[in-house]
Structure 1
Amino acid sequence: MKQSTAGSLPALGLRANAAQFVLLVAVNALVGGMVGQQQTVLPLLAHAEFGLSGYTFLFAYVAAFGIAKATSNWFAGTLSDRYGRKPVLLAGWLFAIPVPLMLIFAPDWGWVVAANVLLGINQGLTWSTTVIMKIDLVGPAQRGLAMGLNEAAGYGAVAATSMLAGYLAEHYGLRPAPFLLGIAYTALALLLSGLFVRETRPHALLDAENMTTRAASVRHGRDANLANRQVFALTSFREPALSSASLAGLVNNLNFGLSWGLFPLLFATADLSTSQIGLLFALYPGVWGIGQMFTGALSDRIGRKHLITAGMLTQAGALAVIALGHGYGAWAAGTVLLGAGTAMVYPTLLAAVGDVAHPIWRGRAVGVYRVWRDLGYAVGAIMGGIIADLMGLHAAVWMAAALSAAAALAVAVRMYETHLPPRTAGPCGGCVRNASDPSHQHVA
């Protein structure tokens, strides 16, 4: 897409915005690293230094993180649509400053929970904003690729930092060494975001100007001026593709939230070392992160729906492997498979939301989707903790497997294809649904 005729708005596309896109990928890697610094360490710290044994109480920090992140996602979307993306990004990094210090000096578990509230706000504001900014920059044609690269950077950094934090914890102790990473990440992110990141809201306005026969135009009468409550209702319940994405996202992050609190404890039952546990935990987000570099682009070619359905089914199978496993080899295979299934789903869901949401309310739609998705952290932590306390760790994993299979079925039944691959577009290339779909609508 070229620059607008007025000459006041920038061009859309990955190549035209390569420098800013790469910079935002780097910033999102630092966002993911803030989570990775603590994932391997905190469950072990809970036992070793705070003497916690009840799973429900122990998982409170994951629930606090999830609720805070989900809430801040909504504010990130709303505020970025109203005031611009960059101010929200910078505000998110300011919330990160106390987090590693609180984890280093925490005298009791309440400090850890409080630090994760701040971390959740940081993640919601910064990750949501980098997602919205990349969607703004690339336009509709390469949206899946953009989301794949964004999420690959974030979760690749989660994996790398989890493994590095496990190594530091084993060789230098659980505190403070692993959390020094968070101090460095925050300082670097504030520098990059403050000095080099540019506002992308003008790109969204250009996208809206060019939008004639896209999904929101077809399904919502070209109405770009929706109230917040309308955007919430569409994304949560009314619009089939948006609401199906929200459900699948919630179950996906339920799995991640469960794994965050439960996997280190499950793996510790086999008397594995801290570094081995860190490596096992890193396999999941590592495969997830690398895989998204390919699955996001793949969804641009073959469409979103079937990739999401297959990914949720793959996650269900992977969790069954982990529940049945009793050693390093089986758990490694299960976490690799779980990462592959998540890679199929994660960028594709974001791309589907971007397909359907009008650029004027896209930030709010992404925010609402991420509210539901990141509530999965809290749901996974609370349900997983209760089931683990009552029935054991393996039963909690089986619960997640069953919910993943149910989500796959719901997507298969309710969601329509939001992205028509270019090679099959034909004379109706601007339409949302495939021409064979009985509810297909053509817009001239």
Structure 2
Amino acid sequence: MRGLRRWWDDTAGGLPATFWYLWSGLLVNRAGAFALLFLSLYLTSARGASPSLAGLVVGAYGIGGAGGTLLGGVLADRWGRRSTLLAAHLAAAGLMAALAFSRHLAVIAALAALVGVAHSMPGPAFVAAIVDVVPEARRSRAFNLQFWAFNLGMAVASLLAGVLAEASFLALFLVDAGATLTAAVVIALKVPETLDRRAVTPRAVLGRRPGLHTALTDRTFLAFVGLTFLLAVLTMQTSTIMPLAMRADGLRPTAYGLVVALGGALIVAGQLFVPKLIEPYRKSTVLAVSTGLMALGFGTLTVADGLPLYLGAAVVWTVGQMLAAPPNAQINADLAPPELRARYQSVFYLTFPAASFVAPALGGLSLEHLGERHWLVVGGLGLCAAAGHLLAGGPRERRVAALRAAARRPEEVRR
């Protein structure tokens, strides 16, 4: 019993109550965000849309998501984290309910784009609020728990979505709206505003007048975003190119489902043990090792022709993803000036919709022309990213040290 308590203290001890309310809101939000998983099926089976038209509507959701990410970052720094989270959740709940009762495809497409905006807005605000309230020494644990909650919520969402979709598409959308509304209630009742409007980083550190363009022209930060983009491209292989490769190897869809389920199960079962494992090492070293593992895992698919090798490779790249999550999020938070935290988060989050476009678009061409050698290209990208993290580690650490020193000066003046 003492060993279990010591493990829990090492994993989640010392985190403030506000963090746990944010964590709960994120978990409920993700567990309830399942309607969009079946949007294409809903459009083709219940609304008579062609597959190409259904793809355009789902694409509208993705475009809205990219815009919502930037909007959420700007609003979270201007309005505040709590106000942005509440506005986004309430808007998403209302739009999802409207989507449930819409019949015309043009209206559904417009609503899907707006839902994409509302679903993406909370991301930068959630992370900025976590950075606001969690002491620096415990942020790695906090981000690890955030990643775990996200994956646990998505696992629950996948299970619920299948059951509800078979029962009623109307129930699918309405339960999704209800879960989003529940998350809004948790935030409204338990999460205070965390934005410190007194936090100002001297222009000498930023080198320019602060704003969204600061993040878009910050070379140290953009180098990190670029490396994260490569990591996201690797991660997207599992949902875009790998199913095609498995089909070419004569494997059934159930085999693909088993590989994906194994990755999710490993994250849910093992993610809480990661912080203690990586704590003694530099973040750049951990990211280099984790990205290298992902490169090895995907590179192994060059010789994979049966389910056992696919499962073994999935274990390797999933371990890489698990190790990468805490330092990746913490570096992103550390590089952001206090008054621009959410804006920096929004630019960082753009890597994922960008990767979701690049991975299938270029990956499909690569697989078609290179065949199994496509996975050598993917592995090579991963090794380049690993080397990049080692090279960029020093400049990142110097930038973080400068930002921390600048943040301490106003505190000393106020004392």
TM-score normalized by the length of structure 1: 0.71
Partner of 1:193: 187
Q: CA deviation at 1:341?
A: 1.4
Structure 1 position 19 matched with structure 2 position 17: yes
Q: In the comparison of the two structures, how many residue pairs are matched?
A: 386
Partner of 2:251: 270
- Show the 5 A alignment for 1:394-409: 399-409=377-387
Deviations 1:340-360 (A, max 9, x none): 212222331220122232212
Q: Measure, in 1, the Cα distance between the counterparts of 2:97 and 2:244.
A: 22
The answer (yes or no) to whether the contact 2:212–2:344 under 8 Å persists in 1 is: no
Query: Unpaired runs of 5+ in structure 1?
Result: 1-13, 210-215, 421-429, 434-444
Partner of 1:9: none
Partner of 1:151: 147
Give the residue type in structure 2 aligned to 1:191. Answer: V
Deviations 1:144-197 (A, max 9, x none): 11111112111221233224434666xx37956765652342232222223332
The answer (yes or no) to whether the contact 1:76–1:367 under 8 Å persists in 2 is: yes
Deviations 1:31-56 (A, max 9, x none): 333555554x567778988664x8xx
Deviations 1:350-383 (A, max 9, x none): 2012223221222222222222344222222433
Check 1:384–1:163 CA distance in 2 against 1; reply closer, same or farther (3 A cut): farther
Deviations 1:362-416 (A, max 9, x none): 222222222234422222243335556x449867665544433322222222332
Partner of 2:342: 363
> Residue 83 of structure 1: which of 68, 79, 82 is its match?
79
Percentage of matched positions with identical amino acids: 20
Q: Measure, in 2, the Cα distance between the counterparts of 1:347 and 1:100.
A: 35
> Residue 213 of structure 2: which of 229, 235, 259 is its match?
229
Q: CA deviation at 1:417?
A: 7.1
Deviations 1:76-95 (A, max 9, x none): 22211111011111222234
Q: Secondary structure at the match of 1:201?
A: coil
Q: CA deviation at 1:72?
A: 2.2
Deviations 1:253-309 (A, max 9, x none): 223444334455655662344xx6545333334434555434456555422101111
Give the residue type in structure 2 aligned to 1:260. Answer: S
- Show the 5 A alignment for 1:339-418: 339-387=318-366, 390-391=368-369, 399-416=377-394, 418=396
> Residue 70 of structure 1: which of 66, 72, 78 is its match?
66
Greater displacement, 296-305 / 360-369: 296-305
Q: Measure, in 1, the Cα distance between the counterparts of 2:101 and 2:192.
A: 33
Give the residue type in structure 1 aligned to 2:179. Answer: Y
Q: Measure, in 2, the Cα distance between the counterparts of 1:166 and 1:175.
A: 10
Deviations 1:97-153 (A, max 9, x none): 334774897776x88866653443234211221111111101322121111111211
CA RMSD of aligned residues (A): 4.1
Partner of 1:319: 298
Q: Measure, in 1, the Cα distance between the counterparts of 2:170 and 2:374.
A: 31
Q: Measure, in 1, the Cα distance between the counterparts of 2:310 and 2:35.
A: 22
The answer (yes or no) to whether the contact 2:300–2:375 under 8 Å persists in 1 is: no
The answer (yes or no) to whether the contact 1:72–1:125 under 8 Å persists in 2 is: yes
- Show the 5 A alignment for 1:422-437: 431=401
Give the residue type in structure 2 aligned to 1:25. Answer: W
Give the residue type in structure 2 aligned to 1:127. Answer: G
Q: Measure, in 2, the Cα distance between the counterparts of 1:27 and 1:333.
A: 34
Give the residue type in structure 2 aligned to 1:319. Answer: F
The answer (yes or no) to whether the contact 1:144–1:299 under 8 Å persists in 2 is: no
> Residue 126 of structure 2: which of 110, 130, 136 is its match?
130
Check 1:416–1:103 CA distance in 2 against 1; reply closer, same or farther (3 A cut): farther
Q: Measure, in 2, the Cα distance between the counterparts of 1:393 and 1:94.
A: 46
Check 1:62–1:351 CA distance in 2 against 1; reply closer, same or farther (3 A cut): farther
Check 1:87–1:167 CA distance in 2 against 1; reply closer, same or farther (3 A cut): same
Give the residue type in structure 1 aligned to 2:182. Answer: L
Q: Secondary structure at the match of 2:137?
A: coil
Q: Secondary structure at the match of 2:350?
A: helix
Give the residue type in structure 1 aligned to 2:185. Answer: L
Q: Measure, in 1, the Cα distance between the counterparts of 2:370 and 2:50.
A: 19
Structure 1 position 259 matched with structure 2 position 243: no
Give the residue type in structure 2 aligned to 1:415. Answer: G
Q: Measure, in 2, the Cα distance between the counterparts of 1:58 and 1:300.
A: 45
Check 1:280–1:352 CA distance in 2 against 1; reply closer, same or farther (3 A cut): same
The answer (yes or no) to whether the contact 1:132–1:363 under 8 Å persists in 2 is: yes
Query: Unpaired runs of 5+ in structure 2?
Result: 1-11, 404-415
Q: Measure, in 1, the Cα distance between the counterparts of 2:167 and 2:303.
A: 32
Check 1:83–1:44 CA distance in 2 against 1; reply closer, same or farther (3 A cut): closer
Which of the pair is proportionally richer in helix?
2
Q: Measure, in 2, the Cα distance between the counterparts of 1:285 and 1:362.
A: 29
Check 1:357–1:284 CA distance in 2 against 1; reply closer, same or farther (3 A cut): same
The answer (yes or no) to whether the contact 2:127–2:342 under 8 Å persists in 1 is: no
Check 1:383–1:360 CA distance in 2 against 1; reply closer, same or farther (3 A cut): same
Q: Measure, in 1, the Cα distance between the counterparts of 2:269 and 2:131.
A: 20
Give the residue type in structure 2 aligned to 1:226. Answer: P
The answer (yes or no) to whether the contact 2:16–2:134 under 8 Å persists in 1 is: no
The answer (yes or no) to whether the contact 1:24–1:197 under 8 Å persists in 2 is: yes
Deviations 1:317-336 (A, max 9, x none): 22234454344433333333
Check 1:38–1:67 CA distance in 2 against 1; reply closer, same or farther (3 A cut): closer
